[in-house]
Amino acid sequence: MSRTGAVSVRHSDFSNNAPPPPDQDETCPVCKTTRYFNRDMEFRINPECYHRMCKTCVERIFKDGPNQCPYAGCHKTLRLRGFKTAFFADLGVEREVDIRRRVAAVFNKVEEDFETLEDYNEYLEMVECLTIDIVSGTEEAKRKAEAQLSEWEAKHKADIERNRRLARESDEARQRRLAAEAEEARQRRMDEHKAEMEEKANAKRFREEMLDSLQSAEDGRANEAMNKILLKKRGQTKRDGALGAAGGAGGLSIRGLRDKKGPAHHIVDDKPYDPYGGVRLTTQRVDLAPEKVISVLERVGRDNKDKDRVQGRRIQSRRVPLASTLRGIFWLGRVCRRGEARKKRCYRGYGRKDGR
């Protein structure tokens, strides 16, 4: 078996999600170069077939233009610009991620594009089923899914471009909002630092004014000078608080609230509250359908009825003797209990006479 044939057997099936063995990870399947001889060896894959080969083989085979994949049995034409470095060690996972990215680029609607949440969930279910068919479906399911994907892309091309533009604008708006929030946070920290320095300076100035007032005050008027300084400080504090509240009110923003399109998602019921949830426990008349007679089973039913009739007669015939037997047992028990009671009374009376 040739080298390319062995490679085709190893890499042609993506149903096995296990990563390749360590020796295969370190060896190029095309030129058989190992990392022992080339420490800078890099592996590349092409999304057309996901066959691994080293960077040297990619440049050597596809440098002059499109060429066929060197794997045996793979007849796909590859181009140099289509090769990339695999992000995942498991090529099956790499393939599924690429397919999901390609499907998401076509089905790029968001929740705001639907009137109800149920419609949006049905849309997501349809997209997921189509993705699963492309990833792990049969050949016929893959062809149908690819045809549906191409048809949707051709039919909703304008909507797809509009959603892409809105997504880019939303990303740019988010970046601008994050930058504005960072700038506001930086400005707020600077204002807090400035306010802290001013507060320290005011405290120092207040202490100096208090000492100067006490030093220059006349005898017996120290309390009056202290009250004037305290009133002045209180007024300054109220003025600073009012200015801070007025400046902070302008930057108020509420995020996360958005207007829903279409009708309301729930229906308001103005009827009285029913603890039973609409279930009625009253007796209702039911009209029974006429009995259907089947000629084939008519004889069997007649035989069963005869058997039931005979069984009923047997039970009826056994019921009377059984009742009589139970009655006799009950009567015998009463007689026995009466006899025991009579004996006890006799013994009790005999004892009294003997003792006397």
**What is the rounded distance in angstroms from the CA atom of residue 168 to the CA atom of residue 107?**
16
Please state, in angstroms and rounded to a whole number, the distance separating the CA atoms of residues 137 and 143: 9
CA distance 39 to 1: 29
Averaged confidence pLDDT in the chain: 73
Confidence of residue 100 (pLDDT cuts 50, 70, 90): very high
DSSP codes joined into one string, 111-178 = GGGSSSHHHHHHHHHHHHHHHHHHHH--HHHHHHHHHHHHHHHHHTHHHHHHHHHHHHHHHHHHHHHH
Residue 84 DSSP label: B
**Tokens representing 55?**
């960077």
User: Using one digit for the tens of pLDDT, what is the confidence trace for 49-94?
Assistant: 989 999 989 999 998 889 899 998 888 889 988 899 889 888 889 9
Top-confidence range, 2-6, 72-76, 101-105, 227-231:
101-105
pLDDT at 121: 93
Return the bridge partners of 44, or none: 53
- Asked whether 92 and 14 are in contact (CB, 8 A), the reply is yes
The one-letter code for the residue type at 308 is D
For residues 20 and 312, what is the distance between their CA atoms, to the nearest angstrom?
77
Q: How confident is the model at residue 350 (pLDDT cuts 50, 70, 90)?
A: very low
Tokens, residue 282: 């009253």
Q: What is the mean pLDDT of residues 279-293?
A: 71
> What is d(CA 50, CA 44) in angstroms, rounded to the nearest whole number?
9
Give the residue, 354 or 155, on which the prediction is more confident: 155
**Residue 224 CB contacts under 8 Å (≥ 6 apart), including other chains:** 217
- Written as six digits, the tokens of 157 are 């091309």
- The Cα 141–Cα 134 span in angstroms is 7
pLDDT: which is higher, 104 or 309: 104
Q: Which residues pair with 54 in a beta bridge?
A: 43
Read out DSSP for 14-68?
-S--SPPPHHHHTB-TTT--BTTT-TT--EEB-TTT---EEHHHHHHHHSSS-EE
> What is the rounded average pLDDT of the residues 209-215?
72
What is each CA distance from 74 to 9, 12, 35, 85, 313, in whole angstroms?
A: 11, 8, 26, 20, 84
Identify the residue with better confidence: 38 or 13: 38
pLDDT band at 204 (very low <50, low <70, confident <90, very high): confident
Report the SS3 class of residue 346: helix
Give 346's contacts (C-beta < 8 A, 6+ positions apart).
none
Tokens representing 23 are: 């020796």
Q: What is the mean pLDDT of residues 257-268?
A: 48
Residue count of the chain: 356
- Dist CA 70 CA 62 (whole Å): 10
Query: What is the architecture, at CATH level 2, of domain 3-96?
Result: 2-Layer Sandwich (3.30)
- 217 DSSP 8-state letter: S
Residue 78 DSSP label: E
Q: Is the pLDDT of residue 125 over 90?
A: yes
Cα–Cα distance measured from residue 90 to residue 175, given in angstroms and rounded to the nearest whole number: 34
- Which tens digits make up the pLDDT trace of 170-184? 777 878 888 888 888
Q: What angle do CA 220, 224, 227 make, to 5 degrees?
A: 145
Task: Please determine, for residue 207, whether its predicted confidence score (pLDDT) is greater than 90.
Answer: no
- Position 256 scores a pLDDT of 42
pLDDT at residue 354 tops 50: no
